[in-house]
Amino acid sequence: MTERTTRHARSALGHRPALLVLLGLATALLLALAGSVRAAGAPDAPLGADELFAVHGAGCGSQCDDGGDTGGSDEPDDPEPIGSSYWVTTSQVRRSVDPGVADLIEHVNNYDDQPLRHEYSYRHRTVRSVEFSGGYARFFTASIGGETDRTVTRTTSKTIDPWESLKVYSRLRTTRYTVYGTRYQDYDDGSREAVSRDSGPYRYSTTVLGYVTNPLR
């Protein structure tokens, strides 16, 4: 071998490590490009942490594990009652009417050719009787002014035509009812709840006047 050939061989051997480095870099670049192509062709590939943050902001959407109760609640607070519950009379149904027995309390004849203004007094009776018991009964009794059986004297008058006879009758008429009540509770959200219901008999009696006139000739 000549000296020139020997120098050429040495030179080629001296550059071999550099060639190997270049080949290694080229192979790594090709593999990276191939991986990028595969990632681009797989749209459902999982996102990395940085990409998750970019997509979901501070949260992580469906990619996160369930962290349990966060301490908040979407359920509204229960309304608080305002004051005490109270009764309201919701209806009053008339069941029967007893007209009572008529009593003659006044009889006057006018034998004059002029009208006669006749004044007279009578006894007027009022009876209010709540015939059931309980909370609603107490409320209803108070709302009508209490149970009572009271008789007072009243004065009235009647004009009698000439040659006319007047008879005045008095009777105690009794009306019986069934009263219905509902007990309510108010709440601070503006609502009202019906807590309970009740009903019972109620009797009201009052004096009623009636008159009859007849000609005297």
d(CA 90, CA 139): 12
Residue 123 has pLDDT above 90, yes or no: yes
The mean pLDDT value for 98-107 works out to 97
d(CA 184, CA 82): 11
Average pLDDT, rounded, for the chain: 81
pTM of the predicted protein model: 0.60
Strands 164-187 and 148-160: unpaired
Strands 81-98 and 164-187: antiparallel
d(CA 190, CA 192): 7
Beta bridge partners of 116: 160
pLDDT, tens only, 144-200: 999 999 999 999 999 999 999 999 999 999 999 999 999 999 999 999 999 999 999
Which ranges of the chain does DSSP label H, i.e. alpha helix? 3-40, 49-56, 135-143
DSSP 42-92: -TTPPP-HHHHHHHHTTS-GGGSPP----S---SPPPPPEEEEEEEEEEEE
d(CA 46, CA 64): 12
Residue 35 has pLDDT above 70, yes or no: no
Task: Report pLDDT for 77.
Answer: 83
Other C-beta atoms within 10 Å of 174: how many? Answer: 16
Q: Which of 4-8, 35-39, 180-184 holds the top average pLDDT? A: 180-184
d(CA 174, CA 96): 8
Task: Report pLDDT for 12.
Answer: 47
Please, which pLDDT band fits residue 4 given cuts at 50, 70 and 90?
Answer: very low
Residue 41 has pLDDT above 50, yes or no: no
The mean pLDDT value for 131-140 works out to 97
Please, which pLDDT band fits residue 76 given cuts at 50, 70 and 90?
Answer: confident
The mean pLDDT value for 25-41 works out to 52
Q: Which of 4-8, 104-108, 177-181 comes out lowest in average pLDDT? A: 4-8
